[in-house]
Structure 1
Amino acid sequence: MLIAQITDLHLGFAPGDPAELNQRRLDAVLDILIDGPNRPDLLLATGDLTEYGDIDSYRRLAQAFARCPFPVWPCLGNHDDRANFRVVFPAVPMADGFVQYEVALEGVRLLLLDTLEEGRHGGAFCETRAAWLTARLEEQRDVPTLVILHHPPVEVGIEWMNTDPCEPWVARLGRALADAPQVRGLLCGHVHRPIAAAWRGLTVTICPSTAPQVALDLSPIVIADPDGRPMIVAQPPAFALHRWTAQGLVSHFENADAAPVLARYDSAMQPLIRGMLHERP
C-alpha cells in the first residue's frame, strides 16, 4: 500500500489571488501524484491547509482535491479554523468537537488527530482528545496503527520551530501511546522540512511542505539580536510517499522539480540490473 502525504499548504497566503504561489506549488505536487509512476492509494493532508483559515481558501482546496482519483484524508494545523473547515468539508468525521477520526485500511489503521489550539502556534492535545485516542487504541490492539497529526512531539533543532518536550500536550500524547504496542509510527508536518526522529520508542516522520520550506539553521536564536539569518527558502514543493508492507513502513521524500535523467533502464543497463536482482534469494 502506498500512502502519500502533503502538508503545510498555506493556501490563501496571498488573499484574493487564485493563482498564488502556494496554489501553484500544491498543483505541481498533485500533478505528480496523479500522473506520475507512484500514484498512491490515498493522500494524507496533514494540516496548515490554509494560511488564514478562511472559507474561500478551503473552497479552493476542495477544488484541488476533487481531481484526485484517490481518497484524501485531511487533519488540521495551527493555521486552520475548525468552523470554516467544517463548512467546506462537512463529510470529514469529528469526535467531541475535534477533527479526529480513523481510517481502516488493508493491514493498517490510521488515527488522525487534531492538535489545533486556535491562537497558538504550537500544538495542543487536551484530555478530551487524549481520551478519544486511548479508547480507539484499546478497541483494536492487534491491528498495526499509524498516528497522523500536524505537530511533531519532538525537538527538531530549529529553535523557532521546536516543540518543547515538557509541554503538557506532549505528555498527554505520550501517556495515550504508552501502552499501545500496535502503534508503528507517527506522521507529522508543521516544520516544513523532511525529518525523522525517535520519540518514546517510536519513529516520528515529518513531511516537507508544499509551501516554501524552512531554512536549515540549527544555531540558537538570540531574541535581542535579529541576525538576518534565512528563515524561509524557495526550495521546491515537496511531499512524502510512505510504503506500507507486512515488514512495516518505509518513507520516501520527493519534490516537484524535474531532475535531469542521467541513466535509464535500457539495454546498456540491463546486464547490471539483471546481475543485481539475481543476487537475491
Structure 2
Amino acid sequence: MPIHLSSASRRTFLTQLGGAVVCAPALAEAAAERVDADRIAILNDTHIAAGHTASAPIPTHLRETVAWLVAQERRPAAVVINGDLALSNGRPGDYEHFARLIAPLREAGMPVHLTLGNHDDREVFYQVLQAGKAADPPVVSRHVGVVTLPKANLFLLDSLKTQGPRVVAQGLLGPEQLDWLGRKLDAHPGKPALIFAHHNPRLGGEEQHFPGGLEDSAPLWDLLVARPQVKAYIHGHIHHRDHFQHRGIHILNTPATSYVSNPTASTTGWTMAQLTDQGAEFTTLTHEKAHAWNGLVEGVAWR
C-alpha cells in the first residue's frame, strides 16, 4: 500500500476504498488550496450496521461528521477512522453501509485511512472493500500502513485479535506486526511518529479499561520508547476522551463517533489534530453542541 484512487463513482468507490492507506487522486487546483497539510481528522468507533435506518443516531452521527468535514474551508490532509467500523462482528452489509456514508469524503477528494478493531472482520472487510487487500501485504493477515505528512508520519496498526461470530474485546498486535513496526520506524527516523491503533494500551491510563485493552502493550511500549521519534499513541475503543503519558509518550483516547455507554460522563464526536513543529493541538468536536467537550483544545508538546 498505499492505494491511489482515480476518479470514481460511488459504486466503484465501494469496491476500492479500504486500504489502511487510501490516497485521493490529484486534487483540482481550487480544492488543493483548501487542504491543510498539517491537519488530521480522527474518527473511531463508527459502529455502522446494515440494518440502521437513515434516521438512527449512529449513522446520523457519522453522516453529520462527514458533512462537517466536507464543508470545512481548511480540509484535513488525512482522515483516519481508527477501528470498529462495524457495529457487531463485521458483516458485508455493515461495510457496504459504512462505505456509502463516507463516500462524500472520497467525492471531495479527501484521503481516508482505515484501521480495524475488535468489532470488525478482516476478510469480510476485504471482500466488500476489494482494493483494501494488498497482493503482497507488509504483514500477512494484518491491515497496516504508513501515511507520510510534512510534519509527521502516521503508523496505522491492526489490533484485531480474532474475528468471527464471537467478538473478543481484547486487542493483540503480535510479534510479526511489532517487528514490522520496528523496522518501519527505523526507516523513518527524521519526523515525529504518531501511532494509531484501535485498542487502548494496558498502561499509562485508567486501570479499569486495561482488561479489554492491548495484550502486548509492554513489548510495544519498549519498542516505541527506544525510538525517540515516536511521540504519541492514538486510540479509541473506550468510547470516551482522555489524555495520559507513559514513559514520555502521549496516549490520546479520542471520542467515539457512534454512541457512549454513560451519557453523563461522555458524548459522541470526533477530533481534529493540527500538527506544529513542536507538537500538536487536538480539538474535540461533539454532536451535542452544548457539551463541555465541544471545541475543547488540548495542546500537546512532543518529547
Kindly indicate whether the alpha-carbon contact (under 8 Å) linking 1:213 and 1:233 is maintained by their aligned counterparts in 2: no
The match for 1:196 among 231, 240, 243 is 243
TM-score (norm 2): 0.73
Q: Aligned partners of 1:175, 1:158: CA distance in 2, in Å? A: 19
What's the secondary structure of 1:43's corresponding residue? strand
Unpaired segments of 5 or more residues in structure 1?
Answer: 216-231, 261-281
Counterpart of 1:81 in structure 2 is 121
What's the secondary structure of 1:114's corresponding residue? coil
Kindly indicate whether the alpha-carbon contact (under 8 Å) linking 1:10 and 1:22 is maintained by their aligned counterparts in 2: yes
Q: Aligned partners of 1:157, 1:128: CA distance in 2, in Å? A: 28
CA shift, 1:236, in A, is: 4.8
Kindly indicate whether the alpha-carbon contact (under 8 Å) linking 1:29 and 1:255 is maintained by their aligned counterparts in 2: no
Question: Structure 2 vs 1, CA of residues 234 and 194 (structure 1 numbering), >3 Å: closer, same or farther?
Answer: closer
1:15-71 Cα offsets, whole Å, 9 max, x none, are 523423211111111111211455322211000100120111111111122211211
CA shift, 1:10, in A, is: 0.8
Query: Is 1:117 the counterpart of 2:154 in the alignment?
Result: no
CA shift, 1:191, in A, is: 0.7
What's the secondary structure of 2:237's corresponding residue? coil
The residue type equivalent to 2:274 in the other structure is R
Unpaired segments of 5 or more residues in structure 2?
Answer: 1-37, 292-303
What's the secondary structure of 2:198's corresponding residue? coil
The residue type equivalent to 2:42 in the other structure is Q
What's the secondary structure of 2:280's corresponding residue? strand
Counterpart of 2:192 in structure 1 is 144
Counterpart of 1:35 in structure 2 is 71
Q: Aligned partners of 1:31, 1:255: CA distance in 2, in Å? A: 13
The residue type equivalent to 2:168 in the other structure is R
Counterpart of 1:274 in structure 2 is none
Count of residue pairs brought into register by the alignment:
240
Kindly indicate whether the alpha-carbon contact (under 8 Å) linking 2:52 and 2:59 is maintained by their aligned counterparts in 1: no
What's the secondary structure of 1:124's corresponding residue? coil
Counterpart of 2:3 in structure 1 is none
Question: Structure 2 vs 1, CA of residues 79 and 155 (structure 1 numbering), >3 Å: closer, same or farther?
Answer: farther
Kindly indicate whether the alpha-carbon contact (under 8 Å) linking 1:155 and 1:163 is maintained by their aligned counterparts in 2: no
CA shift, 1:81, in A, is: 0.4
The match for 2:288 among 213, 238, 257 is 257
CA shift, 1:203, in A, is: 0.3
Question: Structure 2 vs 1, CA of residues 209 and 41 (structure 1 numbering), >3 Å: closer, same or farther?
Answer: same
Q: Aligned partners of 1:66, 1:195: CA distance in 2, in Å? A: 29
Q: Aligned partners of 1:208, 1:63: CA distance in 2, in Å? A: 22
Q: Structure 1 residues 125-134 or 86-95, which shifts more? A: 86-95
Counterpart of 2:12 in structure 1 is none
What's the secondary structure of 2:130's corresponding residue? coil
Q: Share of identical aligned residues, percent? A: 26
Counterpart of 1:71 in structure 2 is 111
Kindly indicate whether the alpha-carbon contact (under 8 Å) linking 1:49 and 1:80 is maintained by their aligned counterparts in 2: yes
Counterpart of 1:245 in structure 2 is 276
Question: Structure 2 vs 1, CA of residues 193 and 38 (structure 1 numbering), >3 Å: closer, same or farther?
Answer: farther
C-alpha RMSD of matched pairs (Å): 2.3
- Equivalences for residues 47-196 of structure 1 within 5 A: 47-51=83-87, 52-68=89-105, 69=108, 70-92=110-132, 94=137, 95-118=139-162, 119-153=167-201, 154=203, 156-157=205-206, 159=208, 161-163=209-211, 168-196=215-243
What's the secondary structure of 1:162's corresponding residue? helix
